[in-house]
């Protein structure tokens, strides 16, 4: 009996060690296919297992339904990955707004413009009905990112107005939005704002919410109760000028996160431009200096990678990390602005005048 128990313990220990020793085959390259081209800059992309959405400049947006049957290739306009296309242009008083924020729920998607006035539209997926659900006309208004916790509750953030970040929240599925009063939010520092680079200034995991700022001061706002109360944490990322700081953020779970940025006017600089956390954003550490390709505008964890694999991209190209963001290698020089994963090998990305499909190979 003792011998049998001993063998059982050894086997369990060996299995545990094998599980800990799982090593991913690294991503080696990426195939890039254009699926949409037009005169628009696409910095907002949303992806689910059923659809791909984008919002861009010149009032343009698109909603593609993913086709699970890719055998048919009879369309020269829409690749076989899609079985329908719904794209359009928003016009507001003869002005075509620039959209850099996009959010997705089961029944609708939402687009939020930059500049004054800020315009937030809801488009019903089935009927195509377009509603202007929020408008804000005040000096300095400039919204940067938007997301939803669930189908009923969503949040958007923007540059400071009256001494605090602009934060609007919906609790009724996006039908109405209320702006948080500055008395309920941390005070911003002089020169602290945010970058509308890729719709990734906000990240939510369950009830947790993180917002990254940039500029003369680059910090993280955190809420554990879906935007009701907020805490403020400092970061060691490169900052101190109007064009430096955190440009993009992602969290793999409630503990493991990354902020990527730098200075887009000095894109080759690779010192203190990547920081990571393992305690939910309370503390951050810089990764290895000069171990990446400099400034990027969008970073995302590879799904099912245990928080070890990441892709970051920008106008400087596409980079890959397999050690949680400490070291990076370039896998493409393609200039892109924002992207989202469909699964661990396929993503969709926006850029200048294009939407593309990225297929990562190992």
Sign of the Cα torsion 198, 63, 310, 332 reads: negative
pLDDT at 45 over 70: yes
pLDDT at 6 over 60: no
Q: What's the pLDDT tens digit per position in 99-144? A: 999 999 999 999 999 999 999 999 999 999 999 999 999 999 999 9
Q: What's the pLDDT tens digit per position in 228-259? A: 999 999 999 999 999 999 999 999 999 999 99
Please name every residue paired with 62 in a beta bridge, in sequence order, or none if there are none.
Answer: 54, 87
For residue 154, the enclosing domain spans 25-361
pLDDT for the residue 17: 44
Q: Is 6 inside a domain boundary?
A: no
Q: Sorting pLDDT into bands at 50, 70 and 90, what band is 87?
A: confident
Please name every residue paired with 114 in a beta bridge, in sequence order, or none if there are none.
Answer: none
Q: Is 65 inside a domain boundary?
A: yes
62-71, 88-97, 124-133, 191-200: lowest mean pLDDT where? 62-71
Q: Is 9 inside a domain boundary?
A: no
CA atoms within 13 Å, Cβ hemisphere of 149? 20
Q: What is the mean pLDDT of residues 26-34?
A: 96
Cis peptide before 117 (omega within 30 of 0): yes
Q: Is 12 inside a domain boundary?
A: no
pLDDT for the residue 322: 97
Please name every residue paired with 339 in a beta bridge, in sequence order, or none if there are none.
Answer: 349
Q: pTM of this prediction?
A: 0.91
Q: Is 19 inside a domain boundary?
A: no
Tell me what percent of the residues of the chain surpass a pLDDT of 70.
Answer: 90
Alpha helices in the chain (DSSP H): 2-20
74-78, 89-93, 353-357: lowest mean pLDDT where? 74-78
Which residues, including other chains, have CB under 8 Å from residue 174's CB and lie 6 or more apart?
Answer: 103, 105, 108, 110, 122, 133, 148, 154
Which residues, including other chains, have CB under 8 Å from residue 203's CB and lie 6 or more apart?
Answer: 147, 209, 210, 249, 250, 251, 257
pLDDT averaged over every residue in the chain: 92
Q: Is 3 inside a domain boundary?
A: no
pLDDT at 47 over 60: yes
At residue 319, the 3 state secondary structure works out as strand
CATH number of the domain at 350, please: 2.130.10.10
Spatial separation of the C-alpha atoms in residues 310 and 175, rounded to whole Å: 35
Q: Is 183 inside a domain boundary?
A: yes
Q: Is 17 inside a domain boundary?
A: no
pLDDT for the residue 84: 73
CB atoms within 10 A of CB 163: 10
pLDDT for the residue 70: 53
Tell me what percent of the residues of the chain surpass a pLDDT of 90.
Answer: 86
Spatial separation of the C-alpha atoms in residues 250 and 79, rounded to whole Å: 30
Q: Sorting pLDDT into bands at 50, 70 and 90, what band is 181?
A: very high
Instruction: Give, as one character, the DSSP assignment of residue 122.
Output: E
Spatial separation of the C-alpha atoms in residues 24 and 13, rounded to whole Å: 21
Between 71 and 50, whose confidence is greater?
50
Q: What's the pLDDT tens digit per position in 153-166? A: 999 999 999 999 99
Number of domains in the chain: 1
Q: What's the pLDDT tens digit per position in 182-200? A: 999 999 999 999 999 999 9
Distances in whole angstroms, Cα of residue 126 to Cα of each of 62, 80, 86, 154: 14, 21, 10, 20
């Amino acid at each position: 009996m003792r011998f049998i128990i001993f063998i059982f313990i050894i086997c369990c220990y060996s299995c545990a060690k094998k599980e800990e020793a799982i090593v991913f085959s690294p991503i080696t390259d990426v195939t890039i296919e254009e699926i949409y081209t037009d005169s628009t800059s696409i910095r907002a992309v949303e992806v689910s297992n059923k659809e791909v959405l984008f919002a861009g400049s010149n009032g343009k947006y698109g909603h593609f339904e993913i086709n699970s049957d890719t055998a048919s290739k009879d369309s020269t306009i829409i690749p076989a990955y899609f079985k329908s296309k719904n794209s359009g242009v928003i016009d507001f008083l003869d002005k075509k707004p620039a959209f850099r924020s996009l959010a997705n729920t089961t029944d609708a998607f939402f687009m939020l413009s930059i500049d004054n006035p800020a315009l937030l539209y809801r488009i019903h997926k089935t009927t195509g009905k377009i509603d202007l659900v929020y408008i804000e006309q005040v000096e300095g208004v400039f919204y940067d990112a938007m997301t939803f916790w669930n189908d009923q509750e969503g949040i958007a953030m923007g540059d400071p107005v009256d001494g605090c970040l602009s934060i609007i929240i919906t609790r009724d599925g996006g039908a109405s939005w209320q702006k948080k009063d500055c008395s309920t939010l941390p005070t911003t520092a002089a020169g602290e704002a945010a970058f509308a680079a890729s719709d990734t200034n906000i990240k939510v995991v369950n009830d947790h919410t993180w917002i990254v700022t940039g500029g003369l001061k680059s910090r993280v706002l955190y809420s554990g109760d879906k935007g009701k109360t907020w805490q403020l944490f400092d970061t060691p990322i490169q900052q101190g000028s109007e064009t430096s700081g955190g440009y993009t953020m992602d969290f793999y779970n409630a503990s493991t996160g990354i902020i990527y940025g730098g200075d887009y006017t000095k894109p080759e600089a690779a010192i203190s431009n990547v920081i990571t956390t393992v305690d939910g954003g309370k503390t951050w550490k810089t990764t290895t200096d000069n171990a990446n390709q400099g400034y990027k505008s969008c970073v995302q964890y590879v799904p099912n990678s245990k928080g070890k694999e990441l892709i970051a991209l920008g106008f400087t190209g596409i980079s890959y990390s397999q050690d949680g963001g400490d070291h990076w290698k370039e896998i493409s020089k393609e200039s892109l602005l924002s992207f989202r994963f469909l699964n661990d090998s396929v993503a969709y990305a926006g850029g200048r005048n294009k939407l593309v499909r990225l297929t990562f190979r190992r």
